[in-house]
Amino acid sequence: MHIHISTQDGVPIYLQIVRQIRHQVASGILAPGRELPSIRDLAEKLLVNPNTVARAYRELETAGLVEKRRTSGTYVAEGPSPLARREKLRVLSERVDGLLAEASQMQVPLEDLVDLLHQRARALAKKPSLQNPEDHAS
């Protein structure tokens, strides 16, 4: 599991961990049933306070994205979680918000932006190799 921590933008570290794991679960990089690293191991790997990792895991557990198993560690929740769709939309919403903000700064009207989305979707559909932007990005 790859997580990148930045201390540049003022986002609390536990929140960075929560967001990146959420994103990896929603996009399928972390499959259901997959075991997450132990709190101590992840803390040592990221060089962050173990309490910070524990807090991130607690939030993910409360949100139903991961589950603690009694005898062992923390796992990505099994099965089609009722939250999965909401999670995906939530992750996408963040991206869309950024896009809208940028479009507004460039004074591109919303209708043009929607047209552009359709246009790009058609263009991407013709190039199967680019259909999975997540793989493309990593």
Q: In angstroms, what is the minimal distance from the CB of 49 to other proteins?
A: 5
Tell me which of 32, 34, 35, 50 binds other proteins, using CB under 8 A. Answer: 50
Tell me which of 28, 49, 116, 133 binds other proteins, using CB under 8 A. Answer: 49
> Within positions 71 to 110, which residues make up the interface with other proteins, using CB under 8 A?
none
Cα→Cα distances 88→7, 10, 51, Å? 26, 24, 27
Residue 109's region, left for phi above 0, alpha for psi from -120 to 50, else beta, is beta
Asked whether position 44 contacts other proteins by CB under 8 A, the answer is yes
Assess contact for 39 and 57: CB atoms under 8 A: yes
H or E stretch at 75: strand 74-76
From the list 9-17, 24-32, 93-101, 111-119, the region that binds other proteins by CB under 8 A is 9-17
The whole-angstrom separation of Cα 25 and Cα 88 is: 9
Q: In angstroms, what is the minimal distance from the CB of 78 to other proteins?
A: 28
What is the contact surface with other proteins in residues (CB under 8 A)? 5, 7-14, 39-40, 43-44, 46-51
